[in-house]
Amino acid sequence: MTLNRKPIIRRTLASWRTLMFCLLGGLLSGCALPDLEGRSLSSALTPAESADTALGRAIAPRAQAHPGKAGIHALADPHDAFAARVLLARAAQKTLDVQYYIWRGDTTGTLLLDELRAAAQRGVRVRLLLDDNGTGGLDAELAALDSHANIEIRLFNPFLIRTPKSIGYVTDFMRANRRMHNKSFTADSQATIIGGRNVGDEYFGATEGVLFADLDVLAVGSVV
């Protein structure tokens, strides 16, 4: 007697698909974005507050000599770009306001996270805003940093399903596709790095293989 296995296989696959859709539906129905009620508010330093810092005192004479203008220095070299961020973090005395689209958990990403932690240990208020699309594998590290009294981390448009996040594009594309590509690293509201570089080894010339040619600038003065 010959058995036709195709109907059995089709029924098995159909059952698995039904089970997966049921599990996914249950998972999504049990997830929701965080409630914004009671969200703490904060703002950048006032000009008077930012002036009373080492960076403020160093920049003030140059800014006063060129009223209404900004100082711009191109960070064409990726190693200089990384070093500039480290030096700004170490120079900050009151605040570090940082936002990025991508922050890797690689060598340079880990080193910069540690610089933010070290600044917070000195009493600097650290505010870190990251697009959740570029924080893969960093949930535990970011949660640990956010527990520090001087560090506040927020995720732009977070994904409900953490692993794999790509499921969010399938289940909620119109919302999940709205991302934040801003990139800035600002110390004491006096000096900032803005431009195209995200945080990761491929942006700072710290890896072999793929390297990005993004550029950014260090800016001081009224533009900050």
Question: How confident is the model over 32-82, as pLDDT tens digits?
Answer: 787 888 888 999 999 899 999 999 999 999 999 998 899 999 999 999 999
Q: What is the mean pLDDT of residues 212-221?
A: 94
Which residues on neighbouring strands pair with residue 95, listed in sequence order?
125
| Contact present, 224 and 53 (Cβ < 8 Å) | no
- Give residue 3's pLDDT: 54
More confident residue, 147 or 20: 147
Structure tokens of 149?
Answer: 């009294």
Tokens 């220095």 sit at which residue?
73
Question: How confident is the model over 20-32, as pLDDT tens digits?
Answer: 554 555 455 446 7
Nearest to 221 by CA among 14, 68, 119, 74: 68
| Amino acid letter for position 181 | H
More confident residue, 5 or 28: 5
H-state helical runs in 30-71:
47-51, 54-65
| Amino acid letter for position 176 | A
CA–CA dist 216, 183 (Å, integer): 9
Q: How confident is the model at residue 206 (pLDDT cuts 50, 70, 90)?
A: very high
Residue 122: other Cβ atoms inside 10 A = 10
CA 45 to chain centre: 21
182 pLDDT more than 80: yes
| Contact present, 117 and 141 (Cβ < 8 Å) | no
Structure tokens of 54?
Answer: 């080492």
- Give residue 220's pLDDT: 96
Domains in the chain, CATH or no CATH each:
71-224 (3.30.870.10)
| Contact present, 71 and 193 (Cβ < 8 Å) | no
Tell me how many degrees the CA angle 134-137-17 measures, rounded to the nearest 5: 90
Tokens 């570029």 sit at which residue?
134
Q: How confident is the model at residue 4 (pLDDT cuts 50, 70, 90)?
A: low
CA–CA dist 151, 101 (Å, integer): 19
Tell me how many degrees the CA angle 47-222-56 measures, rounded to the nearest 5: 50
